[in-house]
Structure 1
Amino acid sequence: MLFMFHCVDKAGAADVRAANRAEHLAYLEANADRIFAAGPLLSDDQSGMVGSLLIVECADAAAAQAFAAGDPYAKAGLFDSVTIRPWRRVYPKA
């Protein structure tokens, strides 16, 4: 099942994001076979990153929670909030 992860950075945490970016990208690469889509959320003026949006294949909600907890960004305390919801692809049709 696909799950959507909407992660919002803490205000003023750009340094935490930058310091943990390489480990975060390595974590995504290690799980690439499960990732449908992933990328940063941008500020309104598109000058900086303010969060993350991921869609990831997980067996169930517990596995989705474990995936989120294992993210180096989460471990570093980057996120102010993380919302995880089941997601269904409608378009484009597979």
Structure 2
Amino acid sequence: MFTQPTLYLGAMNGQHKITISGVVFYVEDCCQKQLLNHLAAMNNFRKDMPLDERVAEVLLDELKAVGKDVISGVEVEHLIQRTKHLRQPD
């Protein structure tokens, strides 16, 4: 009656759905932990100002520039390079 879904193991990276400042992003498995660690580090040092809006803006710009819908390691690396100064205390 019902067909079993076909699994494509190794053909695609898995994706996770995360929400940053009310914006839903899809992130590949391989870079999800790196992105979440970077966000946590930024928020630990900058408790006086919310940085989630800036991060969401940078990620949206990055995805729009390359015409993609899913955040990969390249986009996470670009985000870190553009916001690494926000991870350090004043």
- TM-score range (shorter-chain normalised) is 0.3 to 0.5
TM-score (norm 2): 0.35
- More contact order relative to length (CA 8 Å, sep ≥ 6): 1
Please identify which structure carries the higher helix content.
2
Q: Report which of the two structures shows the higher radius of gyration computed on alpha carbons.
A: 2
Please identify which structure carries the higher strand content.
1
